[in-house]
Amino acid sequence: MRVACIGEAMVELSLDAAPSNAARLGVAGDVLNTAIYLKRSAPDLQVDFVTCVGRDVFSDRMVEFIASEAVGTEAIGRSETRNVGIYAITTDENGERSFTYWRDTSAARTLFEGREGPDFTVLADYDVVYLSAITLAILSPEVREALMDWLEGFRARGGLVSFDSNYRPRLWPDAGTARAAIERMWKTCDIALPSVDDEMAIFGDADADAVAARLKSWKVRDGALKCGAGGPVSLGDPVDAEYPPATKVVDTTAAGDSFNGGYLSAALANRGQDVALRAGHDLAAMVVGVKGAIAPR
């Protein structure tokens, strides 16, 4: 099975608290985080990262880092005129994070742009495609619509699509555009991996039950609704389980991304919904106990 994870990777600056104010350099991005945790959890899967980077030293180191995690880099394109984006993370005393971004001209925003229009040839030989709303948001409107058209055809040919509605309002021109694209993806999705906060923010649902009901009305039949420390809610087969909260919360960066990687590792191996939910929750509970998006091995 070959899995294509489509998204943007950025240089990550993780800032220490005063008085040191030191910054540690890393590489991260929501879909890349999931790709790494999926590959770590299911080493037999072929997991490739699909993006575009530049020709600069940061881009080179980014590709080297991705390869060091055994995630495939053959589908990474190179821009001659653009470089990679950068973001900085600060965390408060409760482990909650805030971000500062420099990504408006990143190479990833040119992903799938061909000389004669949108080109998805690089995705042709995959069995599973995973992406997020951040992936959609950074693409031009033309490429975004063409990608969603292509995904519908991909499913018709037997491919599987997994989606996470990772909602970042600043990346979208307006909330209406975001709602329309995300709704379409839920209706073009085999494995749904939403977070309750994102769904409530963009669709105005009152609670997790309302989110789950709306998704099921859109024919979502598999996946997990992430509800933080309370544990996930099954969007597929009913599961009655309790999920212990993390014993230590240092940094909530990549909590949802790591859940997705753990969940998909079990779901794609047909290990059952109960196993997939627990795999995602346990992995996320570990990840929030360390600083940064990518936990040490």
Per-residue pLDDT of the chain (297 residues; tens, 9 = 90+): 999 999 999 998 877 766 777 888 889 899 999 999 999 999 999 999 999 999 999 999 999 999 999 999 999 999 999 999 998 877 777 767 678 889 999 999 999 999 999 999 999 999 999 999 999 999 999 999 999 999 999 999 999 999 999 999 999 999 999 999 999 999 999 999 999 999 999 999 999 999 999 999 999 999 999 999 889 999 999 999 999 999 999 888 899 999 999 999 999 999 999 999 999 999 999 999 998 789 998
Q: Give me 245's structure tokens.
A: 């909260």
CB 78 within 8 A of CB 3: no
| E strand map for 112-230 | 113-114, 117-118, 128-132, 160-164, 191-192, 224-225
Q: Is residue 88 part of a domain?
A: yes
* The two three-digit tokens of residue 210, written as one number: 């309302």
Long-range contacts of 56-63 (CB under 8 A, 24+ apart): 56/83, 56/84, 58/11, 58/83, 58/84, 59/83, 59/84, 59/107, 61/27, 62/9, 62/11, 62/27
Helices 141-156 and 175-186, packing angle to 10 deg: 10
Distance CA 269, CA 285 (A): 22
What is the tally of structural domains in the chain?
A: 1
Pair of tokens at residue 234: 């099954």
- Which pLDDT score is estimated for 73? 98
Is 292 within a domain? no
Answer yes or no: are the C-beta atoms of 40 and 264 closer than 8 Å.
no
Widest pairwise Cα distance in the chain: 57
CATH code, domain carrying 93:
3.40.1190.20
Would you say residue 295 lies in a domain?
A: no
Q: Which backbone phi and psi does 237 adopt, to 5 degrees?
A: -60, 140
- Report DSSP state, residue 10: E
Measured CA to CA, the distance from residue 252 to residue 140 in angstroms comes to 30
Cα–Cα dist 180/201, whole Å: 14
| pLDDT for the residue numbered 291 | 81
Domain span at 143: 2-287
The structure's pTM equals: 0.94
- Residue 293 located in a structural domain: no
CA separation for the pair 151, 158 (Å, rounded) = 11
Residue 270 in any domain: the answer is: yes
The reported pLDDT for the residue numbered 22 is: 80
Q: Which residue, chain included where needed, has tokens 């009901």?
A: 213
The active-site residue, picked from 164, 257, 274, 282, is 257
Active site residue 104: no
Quote the pLDDT of residue 227. 96
**What is residue 89's predicted lDDT score, i.e. its pLDDT?**
78
Residue 296, CB-side half-sphere exposure with 13 Å CA sphere:
3
pLDDT of residue 293: 85
Q: What is the pLDDT of residue 40?
A: 98
Dump the DSSP string for 31-42: HHHHHHHHHHH-
Among the listed residues 114, 135, 110, 104, the one whose alpha carbon sits nearest the alpha carbon of residue 32: 135
Extract the runs of DSSP E, i.e. beta strands, from the chain.
2-6, 10-15, 23-28, 46-53, 76-78, 85-91, 97-102, 113-114, 117-118, 128-132, 160-164, 191-192, 224-225, 233-234
Q: Answer yes or no: is 245 within a domain.
A: yes
CB atoms within 10 A of CB 244: 10
| Pick from 296, 284, 297: nearest CA to 95 | 284
Q: By the 8 A CB rule, do 11 and 99 touch?
A: no
| Cβ neighbour number for residue 262 with a 10 Å cutoff | 28
pLDDT of residue 95: 62
Residue 162 inside a domain? The answer is yes
pLDDT recorded at residue 24: 82
Residue 297 belongs to a domain:
no
